Structure 1
């Protein structure tokens, strides 16, 4: 890991361990950035980022959403709490484990409208809007054959208007990851 980080010019690293083969978060950053990790747990890493001394900081929250449908409300509560902690440019990125719209879910079984409404509601309360994407329209593929196949856009980046104003040219790309059931997202 140390050689890999050095080759990429990475000076910072913080992580929360996975549970078995699922979950886990890691945050790497380039040595040119000033990153102050404010909080870390099994669902998120919350940090303030400054591009260089004298510039205003912005907030980055990396998330791994609740995998169990019945527990998603815990993640939505966490986001509401984080929203209350600071009024600054904010971007939230990662695996939310939820789709926003039915057209982001490709399978025989429809996704619960209530689940998606709850997700959209928390984003609205927090003033966060989807940053869109380039690439395939989904970020998760269970890789099963035929009618058992499920593809969903679970991973995304959302931001408030002040962050969007700071980074008006920001883009999100879905990157195919052949060894994972999730695609990486590049912001």
Structure 2
């Protein structure tokens, strides 16, 4: 992981070690940002953030949702406790391993409504709402074909009202996966729409207009 961090050009680091071959989290950042980790566990890294050169959220929480039902509620309770101590703009992002509606799953069995309601309740209790996104509607797939193919939106970026007020143009971009079954999320706090100028196209029939030469002389 340290070699990957170096190739990405990052300066600072924070790690949560895996248990055997499962789990583990890595957080890297550049020196232009000061990050303090206030809570670190197998599923959550909660940080405060500030910078003198960039406009950043006050708090960012990185989540790896528990895949097993018996562990999920503990993660949700941890997020509720974290929410109680947040004062300012808060971004909460990661692989939550859960969905908020039946429209976030394609294939296989229907979603577990009990799990979905518990997830919705946690987000509501924490005052977190989904950020707008561009890209594929699903962020994970099981890489199987035919009737066995399953796609889900289990990775997302959420934020509180203070964040939405501070970063009104925030946008999440779902980047196509490379060597992974998950899309990568890029959170653009100050997203700027770029407009490509239209190419000039000359129409041959313009020559036949009586003012053609006059317009060309005045334009050039």
TM-score, length-normalised on structure 2? Answer: 0.78
Match of 2:98 in 1: 98
For residues 42 and 30 of structure 2, the distance between their equivalents in structure 1, rounded to whole angstroms, comes to: 23
Greater relative contact order (CA < 8 Å, ≥ 6 in sequence): 1
Query: For the aligned residues, what is the CA RMSD?
Result: 2.0
Match of 2:135 in 1: 135
Whether the aligned pair in 1 keeps the contact of 2:65 and 2:97 (CA below 8 Å) is yes
For residues 41 and 95 of structure 2, the distance between their equivalents in structure 1, rounded to whole angstroms, comes to: 15
CA apart distance, 1:128: 0.4
Moved more, 16-25 or 94-103: 16-25
**Superimposed CA distance per residue, residues 49-108 of structure 1 (whole angstroms, 9 cap, x where no aligned partner):** 10228x886000000001112321111111111111222211100000001111001112
Match of 2:171 in 1: 171
Whether the aligned pair in 1 keeps the contact of 2:57 and 2:163 (CA below 8 Å) is no
Gap runs ≥5 in structure 1: none
Whether the aligned pair in 2 keeps the contact of 1:9 and 1:31 (CA below 8 Å) is no
Match of 1:118 in 2: 118
For residues 2 and 24 of structure 1, the distance between their equivalents in structure 2, rounded to whole angstroms, comes to: 14
Match of 2:145 in 1: 145
Whether the aligned pair in 1 keeps the contact of 2:107 and 2:147 (CA below 8 Å) is yes
Alignment of 1:20-35 (within 5 A): 20-35=20-35
Match of 2:209 in 1: none
Moved more, 162-171 or 122-131: 162-171
TM-score, length-normalised on structure 1? Answer: 0.90
Whether the aligned pair in 2 keeps the contact of 1:25 and 1:63 (CA below 8 Å) is no
After TM superposition, where is structure 1 displaced by more than 6 Å over at least 4 residues in a row? none
Whether the aligned pair in 2 keeps the contact of 1:91 and 1:157 (CA below 8 Å) is yes
Alignment length (residue pairs): 186
Match of 1:182 in 2: 182
**Superimposed CA distance per residue, residues 164-187 of structure 1 (whole angstroms, 9 cap, x where no aligned partner):** 122222110111123111111111
Match of 2:64 in 1: 64
For residues 6 and 98 of structure 1, the distance between their equivalents in structure 2, rounded to whole angstroms, comes to: 32
For residues 172 and 155 of structure 2, the distance between their equivalents in structure 1, rounded to whole angstroms, comes to: 10
For residues 133 and 77 of structure 1, the distance between their equivalents in structure 2, rounded to whole angstroms, comes to: 26
For residues 168 and 77 of structure 1, the distance between their equivalents in structure 2, rounded to whole angstroms, comes to: 28
